Each structure stands twice: as C-alpha cells, then as structure tokens.
Chains A and B, each alone.
Chain A
C-alpha cells in the first residue's frame, strides 16, 4: 500500500523538474490526453505514474527507457505539489546508472474519483505546455 516503501536514495527539491513519458495513444493531433496521467485509487506507491528527475538523467537517456514511439514532456515539480501530490524518488533498476533518477507521483489515492480526474487533467495541462519529444504513431 501507499507509503510502505524504503526511504529514497535521493531527495527532490522544490525547484526540480520532471520528465514524463508519453504513450502515443495519449497524443492526438498535437493534443495530450488525460490518460497520460492515469491515477487509480488502488494504486500502490510503486504503481504511481513514473517520472524522471531531470537533473539526474539526460533527456536522451530518459527517452531510451521509454517504449518505441513514445514522446517526452517536462513539468515542474511544483505542479504536482500544488495539487497536493507527492513526488517520491524510487530507484528503478531497469534504468541502470540512472536508477536513482526515477520517481513516482503519489498521494492521489485518498482523493475522490472526481478529484483524481481533476488532478489528472491538471497534470495533463501542465505537461502539454512543454512537450520535448512528440510521440510518433
């Protein structure tokens, strides 16, 4: 359940930015869809949306850990914070030397269904403003 994970190896600061992978199915004619941040009530912390801490991983490396055709967007960590969410660093062994650049967004599990959709939409809107790599079909 949420919160039952080891202490993070790194900490995030209020000035950090985050990369978020964009599945091509969530990108339609230049418009990002809210599914890019799908927040489920029953998500454990580990199951929260994955992000990369930009100061710890170059864009090209982050992109290489995404699926083929995926895009990449960036948003300030202040965005999830302003939505009362938490960005929790969580080492991801599959990211090799950048394992510690991995983090998850959490804290939405206690929200109501409508609030979770509000939050997912707000995150989508923030990510839409800075799409660094457009997804390809």
Chain B
C-alpha cells in the first residue's frame, strides 16, 4: 500500500519501524494497548466523539493549526474542503501537555489524535491497518513510563478540536461583524471600529487559538465593542477572568481571580503578542 504523501515527507528512515518491532519494543517496556485505556480510547468509548464540521474553501483553520509549532498538520493533496470534513474517528485521545500531536487528513476525513497514541492503536488495534505508520521518536520519549502515562489527564481530542474550530469561527465572524459597525452604533456617538483596532483584534484571536492548542484548554472568549471605538475580549477559564481591550495599537489587560472578586489584581499595557502570557496565565 502507498503511504500518505504528506506523511512521507515527515518520515525519516530511522523513524519508520515495522509494526512487529514496535510491538516488541512496547511489550518489553511493559506497554500494552489496554493499559493505556485511560488515555487511548477507541471511538466506541466515545459515543459522542464524532463531530462534523462544515467549512468553506476559504476556511483557514487547517492553515492556522499548521502554523503552530508543536502541531503537525497533513492534508492530502486534492482534499476538497468544500465538502464536509468529518472528525469521525478518534484514534487516540491522550494528548500530552506540550506533546507532539498529529492531525492528519485522509481523503475527506480528518483523523485527529496524538501521534504516540496513534502508533499504539495502529499496532495493537489495527485501526491504521498497517497502511500508514508514523513513528516519531519525540512522541516515544514523551510517552515516558507507565506511571507517568497513567497520571496524564485524558483529553477528548474531538471535543477540543470542535471547540477550537468553533471558537475561531465565532470570534472571527464576530470581528467581521464589528468591523462593519457604523458610527453611532450605540444609539449615541460611538465611532466605528478602526482598521488598526480590527487588525490587532485579529492578532489576539490568533493568540487565543495558540494558547487553546498549546495548553489544550477550552477558555471561553467573547468579543464586543466599547462605545469609544475599542474592542474588548472577555475571557474566562476556571475561576479567572481576563479583559483584553484594544484601542488601535494599544492593548490593555486586566485580570481577576476569583471570578466573584470585584477588584482586579493586575493591569498591563502590552501588544497582541504580549497578550499571550496573560492568556497562558488564564488557562494555567
């Protein structure tokens, strides 16, 4: 059988192993797929794991994911994004913090899961059918020993992927709407949103997406205008809240913890890139 051409680019000779060799290696280390049941799950364990996302050809989420440093994204040439992309099989849901993750599109279906987990599934469960074997030494290292693995909190990849895509669309669509606001939109004298402010907001949306992916956290983010023509992201996660207010190139950040606190504990002036560390604090 032929290998996925995109994956081929990422495969080096020392990364490709025969399934039997891998199986022996994992067996020697005490790894057996069923021992990973708390982080590697079959699709049957997730009756709600199928998420269908209908996107247009101009949708940029694949490209956005690909822009992240610790996520590899492969798209089979000729994949038609005009059609529905279904995340319809979870080959592995155990994602390590800061770990290597793979999002690989096969034909019309995007299979999302951690590379390490995918390898295991491919070996023992045959879900990859021996057709494609992506062996990444980094992912192997990340797997650590059994004790470390069992301490990893399971993450539902499908749910996370759905959240990321929906959030990106929601925020971007909201920003597009807000950019079109005419002066006086508040029934008073509010100015419209300047291009500079809108562009900075786009950068912040990208930071939100980066933090969501790198930290595997589903923060809640709303975007709204203020009557002085600025834009404000109001982000919450757990018991923390962050306001990111953008006025032209100025980015102001204010933070609260716990949520019912009236007084903020911090205020910063920064730029779009500087917002990232505060978003990371939010999801920490």
Contact = CB atoms under 8 A, between A and B. Distances in A.
A33 interface: yes
Interface residues of A, number: 21
B186 A23 contact: yes
B45 interface: no
Contacts of A28: 174, 222-224
Interface string A10-42: 000000000000010110110101110010100
B263 A118 contact: yes
Interface in B248-273: 254, 256, 260, 262-264, 267
Most buried by B among A25, A29, A119: A25
B264 A118 contact: yes
Interface string B207-242: 000000000000010111111100010100000010
Contact of A23 (B187, B232, B262, B267): B187
Contacts of B228: 38, 40
A25 B224 contact: yes
A122 interface: yes
Interface residues of B, number: 26
Contacts of A35: 224-227, 232
A76 interface: no
Contacts of A119: 262
A67 interface: yes
B128 to A, nearest CB: 38
Given A23-B186, A28-B222, 6 more contacts: A28-B174, A31-B220, A33-B232, A34-B243, A35-B227, A83-B262
25 contacts: A23-B186, A23-B187, A25-B185, A25-B186, A25-B225, A26-B224, A31-B234, A33-B234, A34-B224, A34-B232, A35-B225, A35-B227, A35-B232, A83-B262, A113-B267, A114-B254, A114-B264, A114-B267, A117-B243, A117-B254, A117-B264, A118-B254, A119-B262, A121-B243, A121-B262
